[in-house]
Amino acid sequence: MKFWRVRTLASVIGLAFLLLLALVLYPHQGVPSQQDAVRYVLEDLKADSAFSGRDVLHSVFLASYSNATGQWTVVVKVTESPHSQCPRVLVRTYNLLPIRKGVDKVAAAYCSLGKPIAYAEEAISATRRDADVTSLVRSGASACGYSLPLSPGEVFFYCPDSDLGGLQQAVASFSPEARWAVEWRSQGGSLVLGVDSNGNIVSRGTIS
């Protein structure tokens, strides 16, 4: 009888130790890592019928865990028609688990520009009235937008088949006022425009 009690006590202690270990290693209520939190959010975005059939880019602004609430907060930027003259930018905040999302906030739409410009998509819209851009758009050109200085990760995220070397050469001679690079891509090459923080075109380059 005493042996059974000792064995039971040992089992209880062992179970308590395992629970404590689980709390230490996995404190985030079923979401053990930032990577998992981001994955859940991106899966939800891909399944969102509001974006079904549309050309959409998803980028993560923030992924943080709060000990006070015991939840992850993930903020994402959703860009609709990212390669058009007037991309639309939505900002969505998720809390999980359980996964909940706030009301989408429109950050850029209808070719509107904030001052200073906060998004590459706004820089794209700022170039749409340029005569060279107008001509390229008529021939089917598409846009890519990047902040300066160029980040390879950002470049390949927005346009995976970009010519990074060509872009770097094009922006090397840009004015110091240029804060954004907008690339208008066509079959004959690319026009690369430098845009300042107020949406003015201050530099030009090409990629052949």
> Is 129 in the same domain as 174?
yes
Q: Are 166 and 179 in contact (CB under 8 A)?
A: no
> Is 94 in the same domain as 135?
no
Residue 136, classed as helix, strand or coil, is: helix
Task: Tell me if 39 is assigned to some domain.
Answer: yes
Of 49, 84, 108, the last residue of a domain is 108
> Is 138 in the same domain as 62?
no
Task: Tell me if 14 is assigned to some domain.
Answer: no
**pLDDT at res. 30:** 59
> Is 144 in the same domain as 74?
no
What are 97-101's contacts with CB under 8 Å, separation 24+? 97/29, 97/30, 97/31, 97/40, 97/71, 97/72, 99/40, 99/41, 99/44, 101/44
Task: Tell me if 114 is assigned to some domain.
Answer: no
Omega cis (within 30) before 116: yes
> Is 135 in the same domain as 95?
no
**pLDDT at res. 61:** 86
Of residues 158, 167, 151, the one with CA closest to residue 207: 167
> Is 68 in the same domain as 135?
no
Task: Tell me if 194 is assigned to some domain.
Answer: yes
> Is 98 in the same domain as 158?
no
Domain count along the chain: 2
Task: Tell me if 12 is assigned to some domain.
Answer: no
> Is 133 in the same domain as 104?
no
Task: Tell me if 8 is assigned to some domain.
Answer: no
**pLDDT at res. 53:** 85
pLDDT tens across the length of the chain (208 residues): 444 444 444 443 443 343 333 334 444 455 778 999 999 999 999 899 888 888 999 999 899 999 888 899 999 999 999 999 999 999 999 998 888 888 899 999 999 888 999 999 999 999 999 999 999 999 999 999 999 999 999 999 999 999 999 999 999 999 999 999 999 999 989 999 999 999 999 999 999 8
Of 56, 76, 108, the last residue of a domain is 108
Domain containing residue 102: 34-108
Task: Tell me if 10 is assigned to some domain.
Answer: no
Those residues whose C-beta lies under 8 Å from the C-beta of residue 124, and which sit 6 or more positions away, are 84, 85, 86, 87, 143, 145, 182
Q: Are 94 and 41 in contact (CB under 8 A)?
A: yes
Task: Tell me if 159 is assigned to some domain.
Answer: yes
> Is 127 in the same domain as 103?
no
| Alpha-helical runs (H) found in 50-201 | 120-126, 131-138, 152-158, 164-171
> Is 160 in the same domain as 198?
yes
> Is 171 in the same domain as 146?
yes
> Is 149 in the same domain as 182?
yes
